[in-house]
Structure 1
Amino acid sequence: MAPTPSAGRARGADKRRRLAAAAAKVLHEQGAERTTLADIAGAAEVPVGNVYYYFKTKDDLVRAALTEHEAHLDALTAGLEELPDPRERLKALVGAWVERRDVAARYGCPTGTLAAELDKRADGDLDVAAGRVLRRLLDWSADQFRLLGAAHPDDLATTLVAGYQGMSLLANALRDPGIMTREGARLQEWIDSVARP
């Protein structure tokens, strides 16, 4: 029996999704410049020749990886929205960062490291796309501070996200996940101190 067109579309969508997820993982671990289409195809368990059917260039795969980062952030913040208190949401966000301390110590922040690398390229707009993902995190964080009635919520969000990027960078540079644990605890204490009405 021949496969139905809808089954073929579902397999195609699955391959595309696997390639995007593999791109996010491999680009995080190897960086954009060192990563090849073959690396991503191998991680996705898709024949390298099939990659071009779904993504014409490596830049298209980088865009797909950034979309994966955005989807991960959206899923994380949607889960945090289940918490009734904005203060607890912010502290749980920091907790989620600290949970990934071993990954951060090995590879840094997935979006932050990619944004820094893409910014050094002379061509394209991928650095702007990476910045949009970080902007989403800033906006969500500012909304939480705003809900708490804190003064200057946008500035507080910048401090929070900068703290995360800094602790990820240091943990990665020094290969010390303990930095994430210690600085994460400080960020949570800071959230308590600035968020009191």
Structure 2
Amino acid sequence: MSRKNTREAIVEMADRLFYEHGYEHSSFADIGDAVGISRGNFYYHFRTKDEILEAVIGRRLEQTAALLAQWNQESPAPRERIARFIEILITNQAKIMRHGCPVGTLCGELAKLDHPFLPMANQLFSLFRDWLSRQFVALGRADADVLAMHLLVRSQGVAVLANAFRDEAFVRREVRMACDWLDGELSREPVKIQASATSPTV
């Protein structure tokens, strides 16, 4: 295995273990054993677990940006793009029911630890927020950021309860209701509100 491939394998496995077991409960030894490399080889690429965490978050940011770009390409209509976001709860249903939302669980754990990389992890939510807001702007909504945040909150709530109850019917029902909510909102007159200081640029 080349040095580049070894590093990528470490980050990929760390990403999986951080999601399935949590950052705090995934050790160097756990990651090294799962990849099948010696401790010396491991330390050649990463000296601390925080270095691995930074690489994992960077990987997730790249993958999320690529996913959003894919949705832009495959779904030309903003309403259909938003629906793709809602339906990710079904696409990733098995993983979410077992481990929760990968973004929410990571940010929640880092917040409890008061970890300095929490702002970097929060960028994952910001990517979705900004992207959703742009879709609502394209649909003529002046309250685009409010609607984007509502969908983020709604999807996180469904993910938490899906992980707690592990009820497939609940997830599918909530996705259907979220799509109905979306269509209902798009049939109404836009609500004009004053942008807050934290609203993203769209």
Q: TM-score under structure 2 normalisation?
A: 0.86
Distance 1:195 1:52 in 2: 53
Equivalent AA in structure 2 for residue 53 of structure 1? Y
Contact 1:20/1:61 (CA < 8 Å) preserved in 2? yes
Contact 1:42/1:48 (CA < 8 Å) preserved in 2? no
Show the counterpart of 2:200: none
Q: Which runs of 5+ in 1 are unaligned?
A: 1-9
The runs of 4+ residues in structure 1 deviating greater than 3 Å are none
Superposition deviation, residue 100 in structure 1 = 0.7
Equivalent AA in structure 2 for residue 14 of structure 1? N
Counterpart check, 1:40 vs 2:31: yes
Superposition deviation, residue 127 in structure 1 = 1.2
Counterpart check, 1:179 vs 2:170: yes
Between 42-51 and 21-30, report the one with greater CA deviation: 42-51
Counterpart check, 1:92 vs 2:84: yes
1:1-197 map, 5 Å: 11-82=2-73, 83-122=75-114, 124-196=115-187
Q: 1:45 to 1:90 in 2, by over 3 A?
A: farther
Q: Which runs of 5+ in 2 are unaligned?
A: 190-202
Q: Deviations over 1:168-187 (max 9, x none)?
A: 11111222233322211111
Q: TM-score under structure 1 normalisation?
A: 0.88
Between 131-140 and 185-194, report the one with greater CA deviation: 185-194
Percent sequence identity is 32
Show the counterpart of 1:5: none
Q: 1:177 to 1:46 in 2, by over 3 A?
A: farther
Task: Determine helix, strand or coil for the equivalent of 1:81.
Answer: helix
Equivalent AA in structure 2 for residue 36 of structure 1? S
Contact 1:106/1:172 (CA < 8 Å) preserved in 2? yes
Superposition deviation, residue 72 in structure 1 = 2.0
Between 49-58 and 150-159, report the one with greater CA deviation: 49-58
Distance 1:77 1:132 in 2: 14
Cα-Cα RMSD: 1.6
